[in-house]
Amino acid sequence: MPLSRATDIRRHGALRRPRRRGLDAERRRVLIDRTIAIIIVIALWQGCSIYFGTIWFSSPWLVFTRFIDEVQSGDLVFQASYTLSAAFYGALLGGVPGALLPFALRRHPVAGAIFDPYFTGGYGVPKLALAPLFILWFGIDLEPKIALVASIVFFLVFFSTTAGVNAVNAQYVNIVRVFGAKERDIARHVVWPGAIPYVFAGFRIAAPYSIGAAVVGELISSNRGLGFMINSGATDFDTSIVFVGLVTLTLLVVVINLLVARAERWLLRWRPPQQGMSTRVVGA
């Protein structure tokens, strides 16, 4: 549920305050509030930096200038692309089978029933805790990170797609059958379009986790990537680069979320507007 609902709470809860007139005034006020909030956060940061020392906290200015440096030198893009490629390829490798398998299982319900506890079990296995195992098996380069991300994304997308396939509207299936649809037509024209929102939800939830998993892989063993950048920075007491890395990661996740939401909105434009759709996802 978007926090703009809080505006309703404000309108109803603050019975004593006079009602503001006009939406523009309200929007301006929110903007001013948010700017003040950001300034306060930066000021607090600067305060911690002064009080505890830049070696522990760096400082807003230091991080900012370091960020610019890294971008200009191309180093940030280099590291970020490493992390991103691990996340992206892993998401593809895990997400595509995760999205397709439920459709196959739908036609073979007995097989689905047999494998069901194994899928649930596999979902429950803490993949991140098995990261060293992946590294042992696949080496220390990009492969283990891709494998790690894939293993996580697979289960997320699999279960959400399964929910979508199971939620298929039986009435649609019946009516389409009366029109003369065969099994393949049903899968193509009813089950698949009906399940797409769920597939998307799976990817939307998986997106921040893919980045997180790639970072964990890098933290444990890597010589490239944002996780590596953060780790080596911490080891060298180079706090500025640590914060640069953290900020970059946050930006990446936010941007990816936005892109996925945008893609979803376009692909699913046939959907009636949803109430209380949460666009927020908790990162790993």
Partner 1 sequence: MNGTPMLQVKDLAKRFPPRSRDEEAPWILADLSFDVADGEFLTMVGPSGAGKSTLLNIIAQVDNASGGEVFFRGQLIETANGAGLNPGWNCQIGYITQDDNLLPWRTLIDNVTFPLKLQGRFDDEAKRRVDELLRVTNLKGFEHYYPHELSGGMRKRASVIRTLAYDPPIILMDEPFGSVDAQTRTQLQQDLLRLWNLGRKTIVFVTHDIGEAISLGDRVLVLSKSPAKIVAAHAIGIKRPRDLGNLYKLDGFGDMFEAVRRQIQ
Partner 2 sequence: MTVAALRALPGRRSGRRLVPLGRIAVGIAFLALWQFGSNVMGAAWLPGPVETLLRIWTLAVSGELLRDTLITLGEAALGMAIGGAAGAALPFLLRLSPRLMTTLDPLISAAFGMPKLALAPLFILWFGIGITTKVVFVASIVFFLMFYNGLAGILSIDPRLVAMLRVAGASQWAVTREIVWNTTKPFLFSGLKIALPRALSGAVVGEFIAADAGLGWYIQNARSLNDTTGVVAGAVVVTVLVIGVNAALKRVQARSLAWRPVSRDMTI
Residues 152-171 close enough to bind partner 1 by CB under 8 A: 171
216 binds partner 2 (CB under 8 A): yes
Contacts of 40 (CB under 8 A, 6+ apart): none
Q: Binding of partner 1 at residue 269 (CB under 8 A)?
A: yes
132 interacts with, out of partner 2, partner 1, none, CB within 5 to 8 A per kind: partner 2
Q: Does 189 bind partner 1 (CB under 8 A)?
A: yes
In the range 122-181, which residues lie near partner 2 by CB under 8 A?
Answer: 123-133, 135-137, 152, 156, 159-160, 162-163
Q: Which is nearer to partner 1, 169 or 279 (CB)?
A: 169
Q: Which stretch binds partner 1 (CB under 8 A): 31-39, 41-49, 190-198, 203-211?
A: 190-198
Contact present, 160 and 209 (Cβ < 8 Å): no
Question: Based on CB atoms, which residue is closest to partner 2, 190 or 248?
Answer: 248
Assess contact for 204 and 22: CB atoms under 8 A.
Answer: no
What number of chain residues touch partner 1 (CB under 8 A)?
Answer: 20
For the bound state, the minimum distance from the C-beta of residue 44 to partner 2, rounded and expressed in Å, comes to 12
Q: How far is the CB of 179 from partner 2 (least distance, A)?
A: 23
Spell out a b/e string for 95-129, using b for 16 or more CB atoms within 10 Å of the CB, else e: beebbebbbebbeeeeebeeeeeebeeeeeeebbe
* Residue 37 near which of partner 2, partner 1, none (CB within 5-8 Å, type-dependent): partner 2
Residue 44 found at the interface with partner 2 (CB under 8 A): no
Angle at CA of residue 103, ends 269 and 178, nearest 5°:
75
- Note every long-range contact of 49-54, with CB atoms under 8 Å and residues 24 or more positions apart, other chains counting: 54/239
Could you give the 3-state DSSP secondary structure of residue 207? helix
Q: Exposure of 23 by Cβ count < 10 A (0-12 exposed, 13-18 middle, 19+ buried)?
A: exposed
Q: Report in angstroms how near the CB of residue 103 gets to partner 1 at its nearest.
A: 16
Residue 22: contacted member of partner 1, partner 2, none (CB under 5 to 8 Å, by partner type): none
| Pairwise CA distance, residues 179 & 194, whole Å | 18
Query: What does 142 bind: partner 2, partner 1, none (CB cut-off 5 to 8 Å by kind)?
Result: none
Q: Of 18, 270, 278, 282, which one interacts with partner 1 (CB under 8 A)?
A: 270
Pick from 249, 247, 239: which is nearest to 62 by CA? 239
Q: Which is nearer to partner 1, 41 or 175 (CB)?
A: 175
- Cα torsion 202, 160, 268, 273 to 10°: value is -100
User: Which residues contact partner 1 by CB under 8 A?
Assistant: 171-172, 174-181, 185, 189-190, 193-194, 196, 269-272
